[in-house]
Structure formats: C-alpha cells, structure tokens
Amino acid sequence: MNTRKTALITGASRGIGAAIACSFAENGYHLVLTCDKSMEALEKLAEQLMSDHRISCTTLQADMSCEEDVLQIFSEIKHLDVLVNNAGISYVGLLSDMTAKEWHRVMSVNLDSCFYTARAAIPLMLQKHAGHIINISSVWGNAGASMEVAYSASKGGMNAFTKALAKELAPSGIQVNAIACGIIDTAMNACFTREDINQLKNEIPSDRLGRPEEVAQLVLQLAQSPSYLTGQIITIDGGWR
C-alpha cells in the first residue's frame, strides 16, 4: 500500500505555486497540480518533478472560481492530506475605475475558490481524521492597500475564512491556516515599475523582496506542524509589519 501523502496545489504553474510544488515533491508527496491557462508550463514542471523525485504528479486545467471545474478535480482525487489554495489574481487601479465584473472576478478567484476546494476536501480528510488546509493570503489582507481594494478585501475575507473554518474543523483533527505574504518576487508584481519596487524595498527591514522558495518552505512546515497549530494567519514579510 502506498503510504505517501498527497497534496493538491492550485495555481501551480509558476511563482509561489510552482515553488510549493517543488518543495512538496522533494519531501516525497504525490501531487495534484492545477492552473487555469499555463498548462504547457505546468506539464513541464510535473515532468521534471516526477523525474527528479519519483513521485506521481497529476496536472489539471481548471478555473478555480468555477464550481464545476473544482468538482471535476475532486472527482479524480481518492484521498488528500494537504490542500494549498494558492490560485489568485490581482487588480491594480482606482476602485472608482473598476467594473463590477472585474470586482466579482477577483473575489471569485481569490475567495470563492477557497470555499469550493475546502468543501470538497473536507470529506476526504475526515476519512483520516487529519489534514491540512493552507491558504496563501497577503499582508494586504491585514493592512489594506491603496489601488488594490478588491485584492485586499478578498485576502481579508480569506483570513476570516481561515480562522472560522479552523474552529469548525478542529474537533475533526483538520488544521486550517493561512500565510500572509509580503512582497514576493513573482510575475504578479510585474505591473510595478522599478521605482515602485525600490520604494517598497525601502520600507522592508530585510531590504529585499521575498523569494517564492521561502514561502514554499513555510507552507511545508505548516503541513508538518503539530495538530494544535490551527486558525493562524502567519506573516512572512521581511519584518515590514
């Protein structure tokens, strides 16, 4: 019988998601990886991880804001130990310029997706009376960011979702935590100019952006943490806050 654990990581084709996939593969987890559009990159990553670490790795194209897509993903999963809700999008601009469609898209991808995946994952985790749900949040969910109101609101909602669900699932041995990331060096921040990035760095005591691998290391540690650790929003921001 295969005793290796299985982790589902959403938005895994690049950046933080890809780094998390690498970290879990290095530690022997079988993987289910999703992305919305970058399937070529996701499949290349999966092939490399399977070759390097002798794990199984299933890749699935899915819009995590779509309930039907999420249900399809879980129809192919027989057991699950770790769910990492990493898929997310941002919107940078004045709230007064934002359309209702753009607002709902951010909320759906960043927050509705957590509802869809957690709801589907819980029965699988209840089978073992154990499991980890880890949500990738943001410091803007705590502090709020000008020009990123929708993103901040979605991540603030994710933080509240995490705390509430952790209380609900604690008697069942399922841990729910979130990681509030500071400015991480990923493609999502490509919208910022070099001047913007330098200004942000000046506000960070560590004097640099975070690396995806650092977030991935923290996610893995949470997945292997004592069962009493639940309901926490853990910040990784170089001392910014």
Residues with a catalytic annotation lie at 151
User: How far is it between the farthest Cα atoms of the chain?
Assistant: 57
Locate 12 and state its tokens: 């895994």
The DSSP element (H or E) to which 174 belongs, if any, is: strand 174-181
- Where are any strands of DSSP class E within 48-147? 57-61, 82-85, 131-138
Tell me how far apart the alpha carbons of residues 28 and 19 are, in angstroms, rounded to a whole number. 15
46 — phi, psi (to 5°)? -60, -45
Q: Which strands make up the sheet holding 174-181, listed edge to edge?
A: 57-61, 30-35, 6-9, 82-85, 131-138, 174-181, 233-236
Name the CA dihedral angle for 105, 59, 38, 159, rounded to a multiple of 10 degrees. 40
Yes or no: say if 235 and 205 are a contact pair by the CB < 8 Å rule.
no
- Distance from C-alpha of 156 to C-alpha of 83, rounded to nearest angstrom: 19
